[in-house]
Structure 1
């Protein structure tokens, strides 16, 4: 496959995942948590890199696109692990224990807690959450960017 076709597919893949996330948020009524938001930024960067890479020859932009896809894949897989309880996520968007807390500390924690928790699975398909799907599909985008890099 040609370099520009691979770049176009990778960019469109990031755009589709980004639009899907916005669709779940605005049409599906599923507000994003902090980790969900973090996964969006690299996709937006990958789309912009894809537009630039079609116009500008060289190997740097496909390499940067591959890095952007790898970053969002990593955040997505990390987020999926947080949702499964395999490891702890950021304390600002996951639940924590209340043992040993005073009533004032507990009240302060409740009042500063985000509306959407990172350790809750809002939607899943085939036993895989949105974060997990983002991780898996973004690894496919890494492959497309890597092939485009090789063709550069």
Structure 2
């Protein structure tokens, strides 16, 4: 028997689609969070309130994806894996919606939340206002701080979240076919 006869293509060896999907989602979510923290900490691009809310799905996806991957590696029941992947997919779809909403606010398609895109209502006392002017930096949700190829970070969040949802759907469908 030769090496050619025993070697299998990578897709033939991928016998556990739930494991592959969960690992990919976990890696993408972790890389996305690392990128967000890089933009914030290194490049000093501060997140607005909507940006911070969009991170919640990634904070869920990293441990849940790792848990689903571990369950898949331990040959957990298919229903458990499908439920975990479905939860990951729903979180990613919800996050894609939130990112699309944020991108629409940035493009001026609709009004954003008043706490980050509306008028400032309570300015406080004049003396304390002047004391705090240098200390407070308001990050507005309707102002884009960074774009690449015409997309803001909210736009890239939509694409990343949709990719994660597609991976979850792929893992669910492929796991169902294995049964």
Q: CA RMSD in A?
A: 2.2
Matched, 1:128 2:143: no
Task: Provide Cα deviations, 1:3-41, integer angstroms capped at 9, x if missing partner.
Answer: 211211111111111111111000110111000000001
TM-score norm. by structure 2 comes to 0.74
Equivalence for 2:110: 87
Higher-Rg structure is 2
2:122 & 2:65 partners in 1: Cα distance?
A: 47
SS in structure 2 at match of 1:31: coil
SS in structure 2 at match of 1:92: helix
Alignment of 1:70-109 (within 5 A): 70-96=93-119, 107-108=123-124
SS in structure 2 at match of 1:78: helix
Matched, 1:52 2:67: yes
Alpha-carbon contact 1:93-1:114 (below 8 Å) kept: no
List alignment gaps of at least 5 residues for structure 1: 99-104
1:31 & 1:20 partners in 2: Cα distance?
A: 13
Alpha-carbon contact 1:95-1:119 (below 8 Å) kept: no
Equivalence for 1:66: 89
Count of paired positions: 144
List alignment gaps of at least 5 residues for structure 2: 1-13, 130-135
- Shift in CA distance, 136/89, structure 1 to aligned 2, threshold 3 Å: same
